[in-house]
Amino acid sequence: MLPKWKAAEGGGGGCAAGGGGGDQRRRCVAASLSMLIAATLAFLAYVAFFPDDGAGGLYRLWRCQDCAGDLLGEFPGDAAAADGPTPAGGRRRPPTTLSHVVFGIGASARTWDQRRGYAELWWRPGQMRGHVWLDEEPVGPAPWPAATCPPYRVSANASRFGDRASASRMARIVADSFLAVTAELRNNYTAAAREDEVRWFVMGDDDTVFFPDNLVSVLNKYDHEELYYVGAPSESVEQDVMHSYGMAFGGGGFAVSYPAAAALAKAIDGCLERYRWFYGSDQRVQACLSELGVPLTREPGFHQVNSAPFPSFFVLSKPRREEGGLNIDVAVSSVPATAQRLVGATHHLAAQVSGRLFPVTKFPRVDNVVLVQVDVRGDAYGMLAAHPVAPLVSLHHLDHIQPISPRGKTALDAVRPLVDASRYDPARALQQSFCYQHGPGGYTWSVSVAWGYTVQVYPWAVAPHELEVPLQTFRTWRSWADGPFVFNTRKLSPDDACARPAMFFLSRVRNETARSTVTEYARHDATPAGKVCDKASFRAASMVHTVKVFAPNMSESDWVRAPRRQCCKTRRTRWGSVLEVRIRRCGRGELTTP
């Protein structure tokens, strides 16, 4: 700074430099004065017109005396952008609806009939757009189930992209969907088509269950005219370490904005060539988006459910004493169908059978094998019962885990009640509320509701910071370890009757009024028969057989606000057999204290 001033004084030919007479000095003083006045006026005008522009104006001028480049506005675009994000509403565009979203579901013709139940759970024919992308023409004599499923397309042959052609094919689905949509628009550019502009492309697997209304409220937060890649990494740290924390795991689904899909469509073939040795399709997509400089925007409602439960073990051979220890061939699964698929693959796994670790070298062929099921219980329950305060967008891998509720024998039937409830109040699905019931003799019950799914009643005081942590009913995907996960977990002591909450699962849902619902949850005791805790609080809790939850319809706009868990209040009715819970927004500064 100083040298600059000196230079100006010295070489400027200004007042001081001229050693001239008094006349010149007077003129000089007058000129200086008028300059000073003009500058003051300009300054006042500036302050008047930009009174409080925070860091962008005066403050910046003040701080930035020696960053001339900044003041000259070398990056005028950036300066404009720094005025703040332009949310979707900023430019007065109509909000994003389901009709702005195009789905691309990766599937295989041979397994579609077994998997289609998942798509049928959430697909709304006539209200949604998109395709199932198959590897070949559908097999079998039955016509395509167009009344309940998305229409299908057959992907282009991707075998030129390396060994794992199927991964390349799946990775191309974003591009294929984009090209299909633009071709449709080109061929049929009617007014109707213009109205149905496409803003987002959403990818999923054939066993992904989407919650479409929540997907739309999540996408509504982002400006679809910018490049966005929205999704979530895996819940299992070992999966994220092995693949990437920066990648949306494909099965949980991910969304790509229109301009990002356009860019991806141009680049994808080159990327598939460059990353042909990658394992998964989702990795290839992320690698390509990374070349475009587009990072993952994380949304906690997308669920890969890579935290597999305690699986069932199918012992396939007698233990053999071999080099390096005891060897046993096992297949691992929670459903026999998965074991069938695993058989034939060569894996190096460590399986825990009867509490001991055995190295497993390979899965033998299925036809010379006796299947003995060693059942180890566990499921995604704990994770789903403690969902983050964010809309539930997707669930995946339900086929690989235990049915998520006792309402139904198959994975599909077990998820149906949650999906049905979500139709009544989509935004509230799985949202937790905590309240406390104080009874005679000074007992306290802690009640945790995961709306539309389950209620837990702890016959003792558990603080909210604990209730919001998932009970560990599951293990990691790859090594079946107790963790780590990308969230904390709480130990569940299955055999200690005095350490287990009573669990209730959704049994009924109905409208209460036009704007509120009643959900009922029936008791389900997983404790081994005969094991009861002999404490007064537990005895009183053991009488409750139904929990009835009354809740106002949660509006989408609740997700536009800062996230906040809602409050509730309990009441015992029918001589203690029914526990009523009323959910409402918390008051200002309201505490939930045991």
Ligand X SMILES: *[C@@H]1O[C@H](CO)[C@@H](O)[C@H](O)[C@H]1NC(C)=O
Binding site for ligand X (CB under 6 A): 136, 157, 159, 188, 190, 192-193, 424-425, 511, 514-515, 517, 553, 556
Residues 6+ apart with CB under 8 A from 438: 444
> Do the beta carbons of residue 30 and residue 37 sit within 8 Å?
no
Task: Indicate the SS3 state at residue 299.
Answer: coil
Pick 65 or 557: Cβ nearer ligand X: 557
The minimum distance between CB 139 and ligand X, in angstroms, equals 12
Nearer to ligand X, 55 or 514 (CB): 514
For CA atoms 315, 320, 325, 327, give the dihedral sign. Answer: negative
Closest separation in Å from C-beta 94 to ligand X: 17
Least distance CB 125 / ligand X (angstroms):
16
Residues near 378 by beta carbon (within 8 Å), at least 6 away in sequence: 309, 310, 311, 402, 473, 474, 475
Report how far residue 166's alpha carbon sits from residue 134's, in angstroms, rounded to the nearest whole number: 10
C-beta of 160: minimal distance to ligand X in Å?
Answer: 7
Q: Which residue lies nearer to ligand X by CB, 136 or 273?
A: 136
CA distance 230 to 312: 34
Query: Closest approach of Cβ 126 to ligand X, in Å?
Result: 13
At residue 214, the 3 state secondary structure works out as: helix
CA distance 32 to 15: 9
Residue 63 or 160 with smaller CB distance to ligand X: 160
Q: What is the number of other CB atoms lying within 10 angstroms of the CB of residue 322? A: 11
Whichever of 424 and 477 has its CB closer to ligand X, that residue is: 424
Q: How many angstroms separate the first and last alpha carbons of the chain?
A: 62
CB of 180 to ligand X, least distance (A): 12
Give me the least distance between CB of 553 and ligand X, in Å please: 4
Measured from the CB atom, the residue of 193 and 469 that comes closer to ligand X is: 193
Distances (CA, A) of 163 to 219, 243, 407: 35, 19, 42
> Please, are residues 133 and 178 in contact by the beta-carbon 8 Å criterion?
no
Q: Toward ligand X, which CB reaches closer, 123 or 314?
A: 123
* β partners of residue 583: 568
